[in-house]
Amino acid sequence: MKINNINIKLSILPILVFLIFTVGLILLSFFGPESMAVVIRGNLYWMIPVLILLLIIPMVLNYMSRSEYDRLIPYYEVEAKNVRIKLINESMIGKIVRIEGVVERTHFQFLNRPQYVVADRSGEISVKMFTSPDEDVKVNDVVEVLGQVIKRYIATGDPVINCVSIRKLNKKIETASASGKKTRDD
């Protein structure tokens, strides 16, 4: 679904919750104890809108987070410094960066909170995105990442990138693992 040029992607979890509650409501209203079935059939006028809200609320939240990220992209494009992954360290926490690299692994795409491991010739780094990206990014895609360097676990952990934008590029990049250099641990 698209609203104001923003792709709304519903993750699998709200769909599963909707299906579980819908099946439960149907089973209880037709096959449950008689007293329960009467209560449920009598309250369908408010239970059906609640079921619909189980889908609408996650879509609205996705739209809000995606639109906020879209508003940040022009600022990040101006402020971002091009850096090699190897140069990202604790002293860069809070800095806005731009990196180019190859996606080596992806995690949590089904939750609309994807995490990528992006590598260039100098090393690799974890890139976290807290909303769904504009494009489907897969392993071995060459990407440009705009984001802010943060700590992995709020106050502790190694530096990672809080991604605002990840775009596919039409070029090839050799990674450190492909060239035999030592890479940074995830």
Q: Could you tell me the end-to-end alpha-carbon distance of the chain, in angstroms, rounded to an integer? A: 34
Structure tokens at 9: 């992607």
pTM of the prediction?
Answer: 0.74
Contact 128, 137 (CB under 8 A): no
Domain-by-domain residue ranges, the chain? 2-73, 80-179
Opening angle at CA 178, ends 172 and 183, nearest 5: 110
Q: What does the alpha-carbon distance between residue 163 and residue 129 come to, in Å, rounded to a whole number?
A: 5
Give me the CATH topology for the region 80-179.
OB fold (Dihydrolipoamide Acetyltransferase, E2P) (2.40.50)
Strand partners, 119: 102, 124
Pairing between β-strand 2-3 and β-strand 96-107 as defined by DSSP bridges: unpaired
pLDDT tens string for the chain (186 positions)? 777 777 777 888 889 999 998 888 877 777 766 666 666 666 777 888 888 999 999 999 988 988 898 899 999 999 999 999 999 998 999 999 999 999 999 998 888 889 999 998 889 999 999 888 888 888 988 999 999 999 988 778 889 999 999 999 887 766 656 555 544 443
Contact 146, 165 (CB under 8 A): yes
